[in-house]
């Protein structure tokens, strides 16, 4: 036992070290890879639930189809019984040759064996046909819902990836600001040592450096949060370290008019397609209830053997047709029809409302994209001016014709210009994602 504990103590540090090395491994990840992981069978829960909904709709369609297919069953009945004839009404006597014959009160025991196969087949049932058509429309709606879920997940992953990329850019900018503040502090200390600067300039530079280090810590925490949210959206382990291969940048897109974008959205949005199929399913369901008032015709038949046992059993059969014509059911059918018609009107209203919502999504996305494109141009110009201002301020400070306040002010404006550019690039790429999702093309236009 002592030797066992010594062995465990020797192996434990190695196991812990291997686990830490596995945790420290990074996963290179592009946007397309992130979407593919999320759309995998074990990926995002949204698509998994949508696929389960499709399976359920298919099962309901199979149930509705069963009413139109043959229904076969078999049975074997073997019994040993006695019968009370008096209880069944045989209580009279029959005179035979001067004597009165009466039926016995109890007959049996005797055995009966009945083995047969029976079946039915619907010949004409318009209500069942409509119910099957309604179920098939529901399957089509579920299929479009799967496509809509994939579009939604792709857009969600794209936004999460974009947030993580922005967090990386914010962290890089915060690190560059710290490096810049350290350079300004070093310059102020050198000028102080040379007797050409005052202590307040060193203090001002140190305050700026402390502020930039604080922003660096905040940016690092925001980056970790963004990466974990991306991992959660992909349904991966939160301990995985990510290395995002795509960067925050500007990729021009072909300008789209409002009319063309709206037309593409109304034709390609899977959620609208699913809603239209739900409306069609509700219309067919209402028609099915209405058609239940029509006559229905079905065929039935059975064949088997019956007797006292297997030795003396004789074949018997029966077949025919059944015509069913509803006359009065207490108003149940009228109530069901009113309910089905109301459900159809509700689905029709949802379709019209979704079409208006899609037009709003397209308008907002186009407006945001145009605004973000202008923001990028302005931020690019502002960043160039801020960099030139800081370079001039540092040269003036080094030449002794300016004080350190001019440098720190220029540095603050440069940091703001960097933040503005990152925000503009983020807004532009976010508007692209919104527009692609509004047109139903978020998955098909991944880089």
CATH number at residue 391: 1.20.1600.10
Residue 98 lies in a domain: no
pLDDT number for residue 431: 93
pLDDT in tens, 120-149: 999 989 999 999 999 999 999 999 999 999
pLDDT in tens, 200-238: 888 888 998 999 999 999 999 999 999 999 999 999 999
Give the residue numbers spanning the domain of 432.
27-70+126-294+339-438
Residue 236 lies in a domain: yes
The number of domains in the chain is 1
Percent of the chain with pLDDT over 90: 54
Mean pLDDT of 418-439: 92
Which one-letter DSSP state was computed for residue 86? G
User: How far apart, in whole angstroms, are the C-alpha atoms of residue 57 and residue 64?
Assistant: 11
Residue 326 lies in a domain: no
pLDDT number for residue 447: 61
- CB count, 10 Å around CB of 337? 17
User: How far apart, in whole angstroms, are the C-alpha atoms of residue 375 and residue 383?
Assistant: 12
Residue 246 lies in a domain: yes
| Total-model pTM | 0.79
Longest dimension (CA), the chain: 156
Confidence of residue 105 (pLDDT cuts 50, 70, 90): confident
pLDDT number for residue 169: 93
Q: Is the pLDDT of residue 446 over 70?
A: no
Mean pLDDT of 93-107: 66
Tokens 């186009």, residue located? 366
Backbone angles phi, psi at 112, to 5 degrees: -135, 130
Q: What is the DSSP string of 203-260?
A: HHHHHHHHHHHHHHHHHHHHHHHHHHHHHHHHT--TTPEEEE-------------HHH
Closest by CA to 294, choosing from 126, 119, 90, 100, is 126
Residue 323 lies in a domain: no
Q: How far is CA 133 from CA 33, 140, 156, in A?
A: 39, 11, 34
pLDDT in tens, 144-192: 999 999 999 999 999 999 999 999 999 999 999 999 888 888 888 887 7
**Contact between residue 155 and residue 433 where contact means Cβ atoms under 8 Å apart:** yes
Mean pLDDT of the chain: 86
pLDDT in tens, 30-69: 999 999 999 888 888 888 999 999 999 999 999 999 999 9
Residue 205 lies in a domain: yes
Residue 447 lies in a domain: no
Residue 214 lies in a domain: yes
User: How far apart, in whole angstroms, are the C-alpha atoms of residue 242 and residue 228?
Assistant: 9
């Amino acid at each position: 036992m002592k030797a066992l504990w010594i062995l465990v103590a020797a192996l434990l540090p190695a196991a812990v070290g291997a686990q830490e090395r596995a945790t420290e491994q990074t996963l290179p990840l592009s946007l397309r890879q992130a979407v593919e992981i999320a759309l995998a069978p074990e990926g995002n829960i949204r698509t998994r639930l949508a696929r389960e909904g499709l399976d359920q709709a298919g099962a309901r369609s199979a149930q509705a189809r069963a009413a139109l297919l043959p229904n076969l069953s078999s049975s074997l009945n073997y019994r040993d019984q006695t019968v009370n004839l008096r209880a069944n009404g045989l209580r009279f006597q029959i005179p035979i040759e001067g004597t009165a014959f009466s039926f016995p009160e109890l007959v049996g025991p005797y055995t009966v064996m009945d083995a047969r196969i029976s079946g039915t087949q619907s010949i004409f049932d318009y209500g069942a046909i409509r119910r099957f058509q309604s179920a098939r429309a529901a399957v089509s709606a579920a299929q479009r819902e799967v496509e809509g879920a994939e579009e939604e997940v792709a857009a969600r992953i794209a936004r999460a990836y974009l947030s993580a990329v922005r967090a990386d850019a914010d962290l890089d900018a915060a690190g560059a600001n710290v490096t810049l503040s350290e350079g300004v502090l070093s310059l102020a200390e050198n000028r102080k040592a040379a007797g050409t600067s005052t202590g307040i300039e060193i203090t001002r530079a140190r305050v700026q450096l402390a502020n930039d280090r604080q922003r660096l810590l905040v940016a690092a925490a925001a980056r970790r949060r963004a990466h974990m949210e991306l991992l959660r959206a992909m349904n991966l382990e939160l301990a995985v370290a990510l290395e995002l291969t795509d960067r925050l940048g500007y990729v021009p897109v072909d300008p789209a008019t409002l009319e063309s974008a709206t037309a593409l959205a109304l034709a390609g949005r899977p959620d609208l397609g699913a809603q239209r199929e739900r409306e069609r399913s509700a219309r067919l369901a209402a028609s099915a209830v209405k058609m239940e008032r029509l006559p229905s015709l079905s065929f039935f038949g059975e064949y088997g053997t019956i007797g006292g046992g297997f030795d003396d059993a004789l074949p018997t059969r029966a077949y025919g047709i059944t015509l069913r014509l509803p006359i009065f059911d207490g108003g149940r059918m009228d109530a069901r029809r009113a309910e089905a018609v109301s459900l159809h009107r509700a689905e029709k209203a949802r379709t019209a409302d979704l079409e208006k919502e899609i037009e709003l999504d397209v308008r907002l996305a186009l407006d945001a994209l145009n605004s973000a494109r202008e923001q990028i141009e302005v931020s690019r110009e502002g960043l160039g001016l801020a960099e030139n201002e800081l370079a001039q301020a540092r040269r003036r400070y080094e030449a002794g014709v300016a004080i350190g306040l001019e440098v720190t002010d220029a540095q603050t404006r440069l940091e703001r210009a960097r933040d503005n550019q990152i925000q503009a690039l983020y807004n532009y790429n976010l508007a692209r994602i919104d527009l692609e999702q509004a047109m139903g093309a978020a998955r098909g236009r991944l880089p």
